Amino acid sequence: MQTAGMRRHATSALPWDAARALAHAAATPLAPCSLPLADAVGSVLATPLVAPSAVPPVDRSAMDGYAVCGSGPWRVVGVVKAASGLVRPLEDGQACTIVTGAAIPAGTTAVLPDEEAVVSAAGQAGMVAGPVSSGRHIRRAGEECAAGETLLPAGVAVEPQVLGLAATLGLDRLTVIPKPLVASLVTGDELVHRGPSGPGRVRDAIGPMLPGLISRAGATAAPLVHLPDSRTALVDALTNTDAHLILVSGSSASGPADHLRAALAALGAELIIDGVACRPGHPQALARFDDGRLVLGLPGNPLAALTAFLTLGVAALQRLRGQGLPPLPVAPVPGGLACHPHSTRLVPVRVGPQGVVPVGHGGSAMLRGAAGADALAVVDPGPAEAIAARLLPLDPGARPWGV
């Protein structure tokens, strides 16, 4: 059994790019829904963001100071506070105190900032003078957008600034593709979750990574589940989750305690990817149930698990979120990176102005390199050395610049 499993990996491993594309294609975008703004962060706009009305809706002051009419000096005839509604129009030679953002009275020709105002007497009956030019420090109605203008296309991620814009537009809900739900099943009899590793004890290093990775990839992490090395436990856990993507760590190879493929077969799942030609991370696997739920097998070696999540996991999540596979930026590798003859190497690197520099400690059982890196350099297979490489960001939420 073990020998057959190993041979299957050796022969059926897909090239890294093909595997990533297949994981993307294997997922189906989630159905759009309407969410209140407070629940929409991290989702993706399913329809363009259109301004229902002009912003700002009225002419507003851009400064704390005086709304003035005509050339000064002006008699101060009123006070406009932030919460004042429409106030009496100004006539030539009149001014009123005003605060930033308040609607200017009709007749205002400019706003004179406090620090430029020369006030001759305190109070409403006083006079004010100062230099102004027509229209100065007035934010015109509609200067940010007109009613009916499209501000963002569908497919844009709802980052906090998008929520702020939606609120500015007066919207209370957004039509979005919601965040996928991701379950994490961390398997291994040897795993402990407190204290140090030792003989027969391995401190779980994958569980602590997954919630942050999932959330940075634009999904919601279900509470982590720790499982013993048991096919029955795995079958039960795979059955009892309605997550869109189920991560299973430490069960991907062909050893006696690696139950993932048997559990998937028992449940009738379709094995879509059975190994990827990359180092580390080659035993990763992707399967799909009839109901569309995806299962990603993360190899137990921690860097291998991380590379598998960033390779297949992020690709599947992008599609669930209705998004394309982002192209990866290319950077020079001044010192060169040795290629593997048949597999894509994923090498932890720092990204600097001259290009990328490997940080070392990139063995599949180590996280030391990745912890001090910005990205994984994607080194295509080949006979020699790469002098440029694509970059797979270690932060799956990062927007790659320059692509």
Ligand X SMILES: Nc1nc2c(c(=O)[nH]1)N[C@H]1C(S)=C(S)[C@@H](COP(=O)(O)OP(=O)(O)OC[C@H]3O[C@@H](n4cnc5c(N)ncnc54)[C@H](O)[C@@H]3O)O[C@H]1N2
**Measured from the CB of residue 82, what is the shortest distance to ligand X in angstroms?**
54
Cα(286)–Cα(274) distance, integer angstroms: 7
Q: Confirm or reject binding of residue 244 to ligand MOO (CB under 6 A).
A: no
Nearer to ligand X, 255 or 360 (CB): 255
Nearer to ligand X, 260 or 333 (CB): 260
| Count of residues that interact with ligand MOO, criterion CB under 6 A | 9
Nearer to ligand MOO, 104 or 306 (CB): 306
Nearer to ligand X, 44 or 306 (CB): 306
Cα(100)–Cα(89) distance, integer angstroms: 18
Nearer to ligand X, 207 or 393 (CB): 207
DSSP-derived letter for residue 313 is I
Partner whose footprint covers residue 366, from ligand X, ligand MOO, none (CB < 5 to 8 Å by kind): none
Q: How many other CB atoms sit within 10 Å of the CB of residue 384?
A: 9
Identity of the residue numbered 125: A
Nearer to ligand X, 108 or 249 (CB): 249
Residues that bind ligand X (CB under 6 A): 2, 6, 9, 186, 188, 190-191, 202, 204-207, 249-255, 258, 282-283, 299-302, 304, 364
Q: Confirm or reject binding of residue 279 to ligand MOO (CB under 6 A).
A: yes
94 within 8 A of 75, measured Cβ to Cβ: yes
**Measured from the CB of residue 308, what is the shortest distance to ligand MOO in angstroms?**
7
**Measured from the CB of residue 317, what is the shortest distance to ligand X in angstroms?**
20
DSSP-derived letter for residue 63 is S
Among 275, 281, 348, 369, binds ligand MOO (CB under 6 A): 281
Nearer to ligand X, 9 or 24 (CB): 9
The residue range among 59-67, 94-102, 158-166, 273-281 that interacts with ligand MOO, by the rule CB under 6 A, is 273-281
Cα(243)–Cα(230) distance, integer angstroms: 21
Cα(403)–Cα(395) distance, integer angstroms: 16
**Measured from the CB of residue 2, what is the shortest distance to ligand X in angstroms?**
6
Q: What share of the chain is helix, strand, coil (3-state, %, to 5)?
A: 20, 30, 45
Q: Confirm or reject binding of residue 301 to ligand MOO (CB under 6 A).
A: yes
Q: Which residues, at least 6 apart from 370, have a Cβ–Cβ distance to it below 8 Å?
A: 303, 306, 348, 362, 376, 394
DSSP string, 336-387: EEEPPSSSEEEEEEEEETTEEEE-S---TT--HHHHT-SEEEEE---SSEEE
6-17 residues labelled b (16+ CB within 10 A) or e (exposed): eeebeeebbbbb
Q: Confirm or reject binding of residue 313 to ligand MOO (CB under 6 A).
A: no
Q: Which residues, at least 6 apart from 161, have a Cβ–Cβ distance to it below 8 Å?
A: none
The residue range among 4-12, 200-208, 263-271, 299-307 that interacts with ligand MOO, by the rule CB under 6 A, is 299-307
**Measured from the CB of residue 33, what is the shortest distance to ligand X in angstroms?**
34
Q: What are phi and psi of 126, to 5 degrees?
A: -75, 175
The residue range among 280-288, 334-342, 346-354, 387-395 that interacts with ligand MOO, by the rule CB under 6 A, is 280-288
**Measured from the CB of residue 249, what is the shortest distance to ligand MOO in angstroms?**
11
Q: Confirm or reject binding of residue 65 to ligand MOO (CB under 6 A).
A: no
First to last CA, the chain: 45
Partner whose footprint covers residue 343, from ligand MOO, ligand X, none (CB < 5 to 8 Å by kind): none
Nearer to ligand X, 176 or 237 (CB): 237
Site for ligand MOO in 321-380 (CB under 6 A): 364
The residue behind tokens 């934010």 is 139
Partner whose footprint covers residue 254, from ligand MOO, ligand X, none (CB < 5 to 8 Å by kind): ligand X
247 within 8 A of 187, measured Cβ to Cβ: no
Nearer to ligand X, 40 or 287 (CB): 287
Between strands 294-298 and 245-249, the pairing is: parallel
Interface positions with ligand MOO (CB under 6 A): 279-283, 299, 301, 304, 364
